[in-house]
Each structure stands twice: as C-alpha cells, then as structure tokens.
Homo-oligomer: A and B are copies of this chain.
Amino acid sequence: MASSNICSDCAVRDAALCGSLDDVELRALNSIGERRIYPRGSTIIWAGDESVICANLLSGMLKLATSTPDGREQIVGLLYPADFVGRPYAEEADHTVEALTDVELCIFPRRQFERVLDDHIRMERLLLQRTLTALQEARARMLMLARKSASEKVADFLLEMAAKVGASGCRPTPGGPLTFDLPLTRGQMADVLGLTIETVSRQLTRLKGAGIITLPGMRAVTISDRAALQAIAAAA
C-alpha cells in the first residue's frame, strides 16, 4: 500500500514536525495522514470555520490571512515547505489559508493529530518551539507594519524573499546580483506589507530607477545592489 509508507519519500521529512518521530511513531501518524494537492488560488481553510484539519506543507507556499468585516485584507503569515498549518486545541480556525502556488499538503484530522501530539512529547515540544518562533516573527512584523515606511517595507520584503526563495535562484557570482521569481502578485505583496498595489508598484519602480534592482519579467526580480537595499530596509 502506498499509504503505509508515504513518509519514506517525503521531501520535508527531516525539517517538518514529524522529523522528531521514530519509525514506530511515524507509522501511527502515517495511518491518520493523507497527502493532498491543491492548485494555486484554492482556499484550504476558511477563517471562522470549525478547525478540522492540521497539516504539514510539503511543497509550495501558503498565505495566512485575516480581514476586517468590510473586506480589507491583511496577510499575517507566509508558509514555506515543512511549515506547520492549522491550529490545534481550538474549535475555530483563526485565519484563512490559501495556496499562493500549487501546493502539496500532508493533512491530518485535527482531533487525531492532537492525540498524536499528546502521546509524543518530542513532537509537542517541537511544535511549542515553532510556535514561539512564529510568535516572535509575528511581533517583528508588527513593528514593520506599524512603524516602517513604504520604501522600508518593500526593501525588507525583497530581502526576505531573497533569503527564502533566492536559495534556488541564480546568482552568477557570489555577492553579485541575485535573480529569483516572486511567488506573490503585487496585490499579495501589498497585503503582506499593509500597503496598496499602487504603492508597491511605485516603490519597485523607484528601486529600479535607482539601479538597486531590475525587473526582468513580471514576476522576476534581480537584486543588483544588496547593500543599498539593506540600507533602505534598515533606515529610510
């Protein structure tokens, strides 16, 4: 049976929460888990719905968003492969989870996942540490959203993306220009940064004009002067 050892070929086996489990434990988790693929743009969890699933993100990117009653949206987190999805120990889902790219998830029914958590201290401990880190990140983002200017936000975001996605990007010479594809549309970038589409676009063209970046394609970015970008992100 394929499902009896889906973990063996898991791309994020070591990086994800399950990395803490031994083979016996893994089989237990295996029996309640299920791989599923969602196309880009699909909503995996709706905010306010009953919290029925948890998952590990195997590949692709997810966004985590909340919105005001009148429709203003804010992306409160971006999830990368091996990140944990969902909210154990709560009856309701806090945020809407949507696929930014095609994604592959390893899904567990929430209740059963909680039981595994209860039975496997190492896994729970890992989740605690991840959650503490996520909290720290969220708070850092609060500073950015509340106190940074549009140019700082955009520069900051480009650097973060360079760090996260840029690993796979192409860098001709070390320290030299780095090119990668943004996994987000301008509108999504705006939702992350607490700006509007127009402002994001303008800031990007400003950076292009200053010779700090180039925009070879709609989604592609090349960072040609990383130091300048860092200077902007830190201060002005």
Contacts and interface: CB of A to CB of B under 8 A. Distances in A.
A147 B76 contact: no
Residue from A121, A127, A146, A234 having most chain B Cβ neighbours under 10 A? A146
Interface residues of A, number: 43
A68 B135 contact: no
Interface string A39-83: 000000000000000000000000010111110111011000000
Interface string A119-149: 0010011011101101110111111011110
B131 A77 contact: no
A100 to B, nearest CB: 17
Contacts of A197: none
Interface stretch (A3-11, A15-23, A89-97, A159-167): A89-97
A72 to B, nearest CB: 4
A64 B143 CA distance: 12
Nearest to A127: B128
Contacts of A74: 142-143, 146-147
A134 B132 CA distance: 9
A46 to B, nearest CB: 16
Contact of A146 (B95, B138, B145, B234): B145
A67 B148 CA distance: 11
Contacts of A72: 143, 147
Contacts of A208: none
A225 B192 CA distance: 35
B148 A76 contact: no
A143 B68 contact: yes
Contacts of A147: 68, 72-74, 194
Contacts of A129: 89
Given A89-B129, A121-B121, A131-B131, A139 B69 contact: no
Q: Which 5 A-B pairs have the closest CB atoms?
A: A146-B194, A76-B139, A138-B138, A145-B146, A74-B143
